[in-house]
Amino acid sequence: MAKSRRSRLFVLGLSTVLLAATAWAAISAVSSMGRARAQVAASQAELRDLRAQIPVVEQQEQYALAAQEFNALVANSGLDPAKWTDRRVHHTTSALSRQEAETLLRQQVGGGGGQWFAADRFDVGVIAASSGLFTPADADDRGFSVEVSGTVYFPLDIK
């Protein structure tokens, strides 16, 4: 009888140890599963963020391609910025004859199209009330009031 009792106690002890080991393994697995779920949630959030950035990246790629095409067009047309320079121009309001106003404006715009004028301020007006900007000068013509401010761009190697 004592042997049978000992074997029962041994089986009970062994069962208790196995139950404790199984419980520890289950708790460890549940903890690992929680960490894995948190990692999956973080990965899904990162995936959503990356998918949301795809249109931005595609747009930036289109901008880069357009910039490359534009740079090639600039290089082929001779508009390389390294071959151009600029000067600031500022002519305050003053009364000029039609001929002087035409000369001033032609100097800024350039007669042959070899230079460009980017105006910050451009104001031309007639001084006499009876005169017009686009009509021939009359006897009362006192010229123009001209104010020009901006940047003139011109090529360094004039051909």
Is the confidence at residue 158, as pLDDT, over 90?
Answer: no
List of residues 6+ apart from 142 with CB closer than 8 A: 95, 127, 128, 131
Closest residue by Cα to residue 151 from 111, 95, 109, 102: 109
Report the greatest alpha carbon distance in the chain.
145
List pLDDT tens digits, range 89-130.
Answer: 887 877 777 778 777 777 777 656 577 778 888 787 777 777
pLDDT above 90 coverage of the chain, percent: 36
Bridge partners of residue 150, in order along the sequence: 89, 119
Look up residue 49 and give its amino acid: D
Given this model, what pLDDT does residue 52 score? 94
Looking at mean pLDDT, say which of 77-81, 98-102, 113-117, 132-136 comes out highest: 98-102
Given this model, what pLDDT does residue 82 score? 74
Q: Distance between CA 112 and CA 110 in Å, rounded?
A: 6
Q: Where are the domains of the chain?
A: 1-77, 81-155
Mean pLDDT of the chain: 83
Is the confidence at residue 132, as pLDDT, over 80?
Answer: no
The more confident residue out of 104 and 147 is 147
Structure tokens at 20: 């404790």
CB contact burial 21-31 (16+ within 10 A = b; e otherwise): eeeeeeeeeee
Given this model, what pLDDT does residue 151 score? 87
Given this model, what pLDDT does residue 28 score? 94
Given this model, what pLDDT does residue 126 score? 75
